[in-house]
Amino acid sequence: MNNLSLSLFKGYSDKCPSTVTLAEIINLIHESSVVRDHTEKHRYFLSQGNAAAARREKSSTPCFAVAVRFEDGKGQAHIHDWTGLCLADIDHIEEGRLEELRRKACADPHTLLVYGTIGGHGLRILFLIDGLGTDHRQNQKLYRQFFEQTNRYYAELLGCPCDLQCKNATRLSGLAYDPAVFFNPEAQPFRLEQPAISKRPKGRPAACLLKDAVKAARKELEKSGIAYEPHHHNEYIMRMGYLLNAYGVPQVDAEQWADATFADYDGSPASVIASCYTHTESHGTRPLKEKASGTSNVKQIEEYLNRQAAFRQNVITGQCEIAYLTTDGASEFVPLTDRDVNSLWTRMSKEVGRTRQSDIHSVLHSEYVPLYNPFRDYLQGLPAWDGTTDHIAELASTVHVAGGQARFTEYFRKWLVGLVAGVLEESQVNHQILVLIGSQGSYKTTWFNYLLPPELRRYFLTKVSNSYANKDDLLSLSEFMLICLEEIDEMSPATLNQLKAMVTLKSVNERAAYARNKDHRPHIASFCATGNNVHFLNDPSGNRRWLPFEVESIDPPQEHPVDYAGVYAQAYHYWQNHFRYWFNAEEIESLNRYNRYFETPNLERELILIHFRRTLPGEAGIFVTTAYILNQINRYIRQPLSPIKVGILMKQLGFQAIRFSGQRGYRVYEYTGEEIVRNRHAAARFTQEDGPDDEEEAAVEPVLL
């Protein structure tokens, strides 16, 4: 069994399989550093709410074909033979049940292999099937029958529905790191059984019952915002199955109705319904018709909720939050979950009387729940600043930068007040990005993480991305107070341009996951970034959005606690008193000069300064066009130069733009070959150490020799 051959792929997009043994697959799950790295990154990105990055990690994780062996591809036409294996995939397991279900699955004599899925909330179960032949078409039919039979078996064994969309024989199974992977080489194979025919209970008007139950179930699903739409087909059929079971509809009627109604479903609707009917204890427990006069009204629901908990609607996350009342008062506010609503409904049904769960849901999403802005609540609750202690400067002093501490303190002060303004003023956006460049392990990201007080730290997001144009990135602008961009020096020019455009967006108009409509949300996020390479700016038109600093060292935030009340009270005071946190024209010019140290080498700029200078007062000079400049500086350069960059740089360097005979050009003094050599010798004698400073470059106005 260990030597069973399987087809392994480097990722889900790979089309060139390699042949490995089952033992090698188990070894990859148990101790592969590559699989472990992908698994940990996927779970980290999920915990940070970065769904796009999590999907990217999952898609690049190695995967293998369970049912078939491939040759030169991974489609139906590339099937070489069959492995005799099948799988059951169980995901979204309730918290606390994972190990219990793992033990049950491992104890079953049919189970061959069990490992945890990459998301950390599911199990992948492999087992043997006996009865496949050499006819591929016949095997396809048999495999689907095996799949339905075995997945029903495990759904009943574990009391948890299986993912029935995995029934395609060419389906790939992604690997995930699991040191507790289970393998039983003595596993017993499944054999195909003829399914028993369900009988309807006698004496019941089955057709009427089904019709009324479907009508009632559809109304309830509609009220809950659940629709039969792309990416939600399985969820809709499963919820419908649970309701039909609770209403007492016979299983055979429900299965036949599902197959006829959901003919476009990529799978077996009847199998989904069957998994719902494994909960036999729920069958017929729900009366189909309820008298409206016997249910609780809105006033009764509000009075009951007042006795149970405090509620508030977080305007940033869009979530309702709950704090259960205890003998000591209210507990901490946490996001309201379906479990909370279900608990409130069951309690009220027992204590008050019949209550519609949908009515409780409607009350909790109405004006009954007050709006809550976590940023205003925190800032307005701070003690007033004493007007003397410079808490912001004290915090800035924990970061030791090259080129002078005064500039960092000044820029950090502006940026921090801009951060406060961004979350308090809907029309204001913090356009500057504070960047710390330094060696790895120097606490750069940690320092940024500790900038937010514990009460607001959930609104800090760390991102490592090669693109900033998807919906998740746009929504993060309205959901987080501070977004930290790691490895900023690894971003391409195109990505940096995307980022610059996103930083200045005033609002976001997107539909969040599971929301019904697009929502217009203000941009509240400020940006910071970290990197290792000081030369990362590459925009010749200017880099005024960036506030970069080369870090020499940072005092560990864990050992130098931040006085959050003092820092944010001071920043809030500045904002209230109209402190100018944005940069004026003079400051932008100074910032652009300062940022030249952080720019990537600019070939066009360097060559222009070698061959040309501005004319002195009274000096005639010559007229040159952009084409002439390119011809002069491009003689011995193989790399193509940009005429657009040349035009931008000539203006930046102060060359006078003039027009002659319908041609646009510049008045310049062009160095002779001898002068170029002498300037190079002079530059070698009059040098200064390279580093961030505020001085004009001497090459713009060289000494005449």
The token pair that represents 479 in the structure block:
């959901």
Q: Residue 467's pLDDT is what? A: 58
Please choose, from the candidates 508, 511, 459, the residue with its C-alpha nearest in 3D space to the C-alpha of residue 481: 459
Instruction: Find the angle CA(101)-CA(107)-CA(109) to the nearest 5 degrees.
Output: 130
Q: Residue 702's pLDDT is what? A: 39
> For residues 495 and 470, is the Cβ–Cβ distance under 8 A?
no
Strand extents, DSSP E, 460-585: 460-463, 482-485, 507-510, 519-522, 526-531, 546-554
The token pair that represents 255 in the structure block:
């299965």
In one-letter notation, the amino acid at residue 415 is: W
Q: Residue 565's pLDDT is what? A: 94
Summarize pLDDT for 201-258 with one digit per residue, the tens: 444 455 678 888 999 889 888 888 888 888 788 888 888 988 898 888 888 888 889 8
Pairing of strands 190-191, 123-130: parallel
CA distance 547 to 411: 7
Q: Residue 703's pLDDT is what? A: 34
pTM over 0.85: no
Could you say which residues of the chain have pLDDT below 50?
Answer: 195-204, 290-293, 694-705
Which residues, in sequence order, are CB contacts of 144 under 8 Å at separation 6+?
167, 268
Match domain 601-700 to its CATH number in 3.90.350, 1.10.1660, 1.10.10, 1.20.1270.
1.10.10
Q: Residue 62's pLDDT is what? A: 94
Please choose, from the candidates 574, 472, 555, the residue with its C-alpha nearest in 3D space to the C-alpha of residue 513: 472
Q: Residue 327's pLDDT is what? A: 62
CA distances (Å), 171 to each of 76, 422, 430, 445, in order? 10, 47, 47, 40
Q: Which CATH architecture has domain 391-597?
A: 3-Layer(aba) Sandwich (3.40)
Phi and psi based region of residue 182 (left: phi greater than 0; alpha: psi -120 to 50; beta: remaining): beta
Q: Residue 693's pLDDT is what? A: 59
Residue 5: DSSP 8-state: E
Pairing of strands 482-485, 526-531: parallel
Q: Residue 579's pLDDT is what? A: 93
Q: Residue 466's pLDDT is what? A: 62
